[in-house]
Structure 1
């Protein structure tokens, strides 16, 4: 093990909840082909590689695909062919990140690609032949009607990244919002590598404002229900509570000086790491030891809790320090009152 890197995760972490791994995941077909497709309602279908998810809707006039993760790749076409022989006529990009649309070229050059204006601008600025730029863009809301099927596209502001949209199928009551909530798990580290954490938290409540029966989140082998989303929202509310308490305790100017003193003033960055780690560890302990609304601990309810919470804690506490309002600032003069750094 490189002494300068992260330690290897150990076998002492508890197993994920048994309910996390669906039957298809260990099936011979999935292990052989690498994808699973499932009808949610009507023409709306969910596709997964086990780590990344996408979706498509079969309409009277063709297929509308939502995203194209490289880990699914051409299996997206195979999944569609399992269901229909109709061609893909439209593609909706959730956002510009390559891990979700980096195989969009498989749909061919003749499809209409719909995305938020910011997604289009980013793909023009950073061109990628496997992520063709959109042919149709919008700013706030767009109702896409194809072959009698309606998709309501909405942009509610930056969250995971600029341009990340909500895709709602009202007749089927399916909501797709990528990289915000991963049903059944605490999602990938650092709030799914999100950029605007206040916006990301706001998106949790925006999701719950929809009337949906099925939720597609883009990750981790599960679609979800409304209750699944509420469980994830509860978890991240606890992360925010723990991180807030950690910042209030360890980011006091007097506490920070004590931590920096402990490392020595010729090793300021070591002291800084100790300061950040003190906050992350405090928040992580709070979350993992807290009894949840069901009487269980989080690792008993959501996969990944023991390994990912420390990364979420770090990201959220930095969001508190960088994005959220502060109670004050340093006052002038010698020995000023304690303030949050």
Structure 2
């Protein structure tokens, strides 16, 4: 009986892999392997397999903690520990990581932003701990309460400096990017920068520009990261910490995509270009024209990105993990954000005049 139920569940699972209305199942044979630099040695160690996390001192008491998919950090000072974020997939393994290197108490917690996949285990920290975040993060957590994400006790607008136990953290807000309230967390002495959900070192990032809200701000954040003097970048994902070169490479990937999106929009999103897709279907099939119009631009950008020989002579799939699986999702987001966030280069003149602009 149990075996029969298991088979039924497996069958249902497989049915949804192949439904004609949704996404096709990806086959690993059809995709490029991750570059070697994306596969750090700790992933295959017995210690990681047993503990479920990896903890590494970057420099001067600043530690990086990862589940192999989500990152967090902590800073050991003379007077206690400053913890940064609390991803649920790390959960109490974050506490175990801290306890493995110090017996000092956790005194302060910094939230990078309000999303629960990065701070959804924050309730595990000691009662009464000071929680520091941007004022927008406090506003959102007050508006959408979650007992697992305590509301910050101290907030700031533009800049705030934590000087504690002989250590310093500089918190800065430069505007919405991944989401409103997502801050830069910088330790100037060990030169560690924590900036979550912008660059995923060694990877082209998770789908749709890491599910970000302000794509223009998200792309701009690459340049803002490079304004800092850092040797180590903690990006929130996925298998390793990053370097300046990781940021430069990610920026190049998305700048290429922006250029191809602009080409696609000027070809298929002018009134004449888009009109082809809507004239091909009955008037009661407007949505079919819409999806073919958008998808044609996305497919153009995807094909250009996957076939491009980049600045170092390699294709993108050789430089970044996830390119052959995620580029189409990024392309959709970049095309749509260009249409909605950037100039349309003109507009409809009276009557039927004008065609050299986006719609």
Q: Which residue of 2 aligns with 1:202?
A: 220
Q: Which residue of 2 aligns with 1:322?
A: 340
Larger CA deviation: 147-156 vs 30-39: 30-39
Distance between the aligned counterparts of 2:312 and 2:354, measured in 1? 45
The alpha-carbon distance between structure 1 residues 264 and 161, as it changes in their structure 2 partners (threshold 3 A), is same
From 75, 84, 98, the equivalent of 2:102 is 84
* Corresponding position: 1:61 with 2:53: no
Shift of 1:31: 1.6
Q: Which residue of 1 aligns with 2:207?
A: 189
* Corresponding position: 1:143 with 2:161: yes
5 Å matches for 1:20-59? 20-59=38-77
* Corresponding position: 1:4 with 2:21: yes
Q: Which residue of 1 aligns with 2:308?
A: 290
CA displacement, residues 106-143 of structure 1 (integer Å, 9 cap, x when unaligned): 11212100000000011111111110000100000000
Distance between the aligned counterparts of 1:338 and 1:46, measured in 2? 50
| Aligned pairs, number | 341
Q: TM-score normalized by structure 2?
A: 0.93
Distance between the aligned counterparts of 2:81 and 2:315, measured in 1? 42
Distance between the aligned counterparts of 2:104 and 2:89, measured in 1? 23
| Contact 1:264-1:271 at 8 Å conserved across structures | no
Q: Which residue of 2 aligns with 1:95?
A: 113
Distance between the aligned counterparts of 1:41 and 1:88, measured in 2? 19
From 235, 242, 250, the equivalent of 1:232 is 250
SS of alignment partner, residue 296 of structure 2? helix
Distance between the aligned counterparts of 2:147 and 2:176, measured in 1? 25
Distance between the aligned counterparts of 1:43 and 1:336, measured in 2? 61
* Corresponding position: 1:119 with 2:104: no
Shift of 1:335: 5.8
| Alignment gaps of 5+ in structure 1 | none
CA displacement, residues 81-118 of structure 1 (integer Å, 9 cap, x when unaligned): 11111111000000000000000011121210000000
The alpha-carbon distance between structure 1 residues 334 and 319, as it changes in their structure 2 partners (threshold 3 A), is closer
Q: TM-score normalized by structure 1?
A: 0.98
| Alignment gaps of 5+ in structure 2 | 1-17
Distance between the aligned counterparts of 1:145 and 1:83, measured in 2? 21
